[in-house]
Structure 1
Amino acid sequence: MNKAVEVRNLGRKDYKDTWDYQEKLFKETLDLKIRNRREALDSPTPNYLLMVEHPHVYTLGKSGDLENLLVSEAELKRKDATFYKINRGGDITYHGPGQLVGYPILDLDNFFTDIHKYLRLLEEMVILTLAEYGLKAERSPGETGVWLDVETPFARKICAMGVRASRWVTMHGFALNVNADLGYFDNIIPCGIKGKAVTSLNVELGVKEVDLSEVQEKLLKHFKDLFEAELKFVD
């Protein structure tokens, strides 16, 4: 079992370019697993965690409803935003500047073969990180992601999640709103869930901006502990 995880900080990168990069790493890992099985080899499979910010983009999961995108193609262009239908689970979401996005490409055979546990640990990583800022974040029953004030009329989502897995290899991941422009969420029904708001860490703290690198450092610390992983930072 290889518990080393290569952390690659991609900075601000186009969504499609990042998706293609994920697919490349994902396929390489799957191909190695298949070759190991066919040829009775024991080559360790790699694990990656890509950290990135995207320009304005909307993505629709394979089970999503296009009607949850509330603006036309022309309006998207005016807002300097792009749109992609993609192969993760979940409905529609937004990515943009000020949002910390993580794409773990893990072979869960190196950790545990349980997708439910995998999602719960990603949520716990975010919950523990937000607790360091004095926020009581939590799960919402039946809804993946991390929320605030779930049992009140003021429930709001601060972190969206959507993953894909094949032969226990994962891709896609989580998007935590740190300094996000929440106006862009008005153009969609986020995650297809009506009547619940979206928020950002800077809004909850009442500040103009939170240090994104500090939030990332805290996330990675909790990821390391929860997954009992060895992080290796790669440029």
Structure 2
Amino acid sequence: MGNKTIELQDLGLKDYKETWDYQEGLFQAIVDTKIRNRRQNAQETTRNHFLFVEHPHVYTLGKSGDMANLLVDQAQLDAKGASFYKINRGGDITYHGPGQIVGYPILDLENFFTDIHKYLRLLEEMVIRTLAEYGLKAERSEGETGVWLDVGTPFARKICAMGVRASRWVTMHGFALNVNADLGYFDLMIPCGIKDKAVTSLNVELGKAEVPMEEVKQKLLAHFTSLFEAEFKKK
């Protein structure tokens, strides 16, 4: 039986690049353990991590992304107080900012199951079940990773973006759920490279000025625990 305990950290508001570097360190430590185990025919337990974070305004472009989907230049980014990074996850362009819950599960999937497709579907299911607790019917959109509302209608809108990287069955990057996000920042890009689709946030859907972020995090963790048959411990 693999190690299904996950070390949980809430990093608060943290710079994207600093968080990315931190993720890379945790990711590489797990990969290194797996390499040692294979070379030495050992059974050293691999660790699992889950990071919650909010980022200052930032746009990130995945490996297969198109720069044309960022609709502003560096000077305009500077004027909006936003930064930009090309990164090593899948997917196209994504925005992160205050009021958005970003989750980075850094897991050895060999502790759970070895199926990236299943991993992504379970992350989506975690968000779908969380939003259901707020009375929202969220869904998947065929061929488009993430979580959406009113799929198949002219009013389809995305509420949660996802993009992951995996190597040797170790994951990094993850999901970004708009809770109290400033949706104006999405106008500066073509979200995930998908034209003619809107973006929304939980507070907008509920008609509230603000939804408690900690409340949403606890719901996400409860559904993650159930779906992955895992347990969390705070680091």
Map 1:1-235 → 2, pairs under 5 A: 1-234=2-235
> How many Å apart are 1:140 and its aligned residue?
0.1
Aligned partner letter, 2:25: K
3-state secondary structure, aligned to 1:138: strand
Rounded to whole Å, the distance in 2 between the matches of 1:227 and 1:175 is 19
3-state secondary structure, aligned to 1:17: helix
Fraction of identical pairs, as percent: 77
Q: Extract unaligned runs of 5+ from structure 2.
A: none
Q: How many residues align?
A: 234
3-state secondary structure, aligned to 2:59: strand
3-state secondary structure, aligned to 1:41: coil
Give the CA RMSD over aligned residues. Answer: 0.3
3-state secondary structure, aligned to 1:25: helix
Rounded to whole Å, the distance in 1 between the matches of 2:88 and 2:113 is 23
Rounded to whole Å, the distance in 1 between the matches of 2:229 and 2:167 is 22
Rounded to whole Å, the distance in 1 between the matches of 2:152 and 2:73 is 34
Rounded to whole Å, the distance in 2 between the matches of 1:59 and 1:92 is 6
Rounded to whole Å, the distance in 2 between the matches of 1:37 and 1:184 is 46
Aligned partner letter, 2:143: G
Aligned partner letter, 2:233: K
Rounded to whole Å, the distance in 1 between the matches of 2:159 and 2:230 is 25
Per-residue CA shift, 1:181-235, capped at 9, x if unaligned?
000000000000000000000000000000000000000000000000011112x
> How many Å apart are 1:165 and its aligned residue?
0.1
> How many Å apart are 1:117 and its aligned residue?
0.1
Rounded to whole Å, the distance in 1 between the matches of 2:96 and 2:152 is 26
Q: TM-score, normalised by structure 2?
A: 0.99
Q: Extract unaligned runs of 5+ from structure 1.
A: none
Rounded to whole Å, the distance in 1 between the matches of 2:50 and 2:197 is 30
Rounded to whole Å, the distance in 1 between the matches of 2:46 and 2:168 is 12
Aligned partner letter, 2:20: W
Rounded to whole Å, the distance in 2 between the matches of 1:60 and 1:208 is 30
Rounded to whole Å, the distance in 1 between the matches of 2:104 and 2:17 is 13
3-state secondary structure, aligned to 1:102: strand
Rounded to whole Å, the distance in 1 between the matches of 2:139 and 2:50 is 23
3-state secondary structure, aligned to 2:209: coil
Rounded to whole Å, the distance in 2 between the matches of 1:138 and 1:59 is 24
Rounded to whole Å, the distance in 1 between the matches of 2:152 and 2:224 is 27
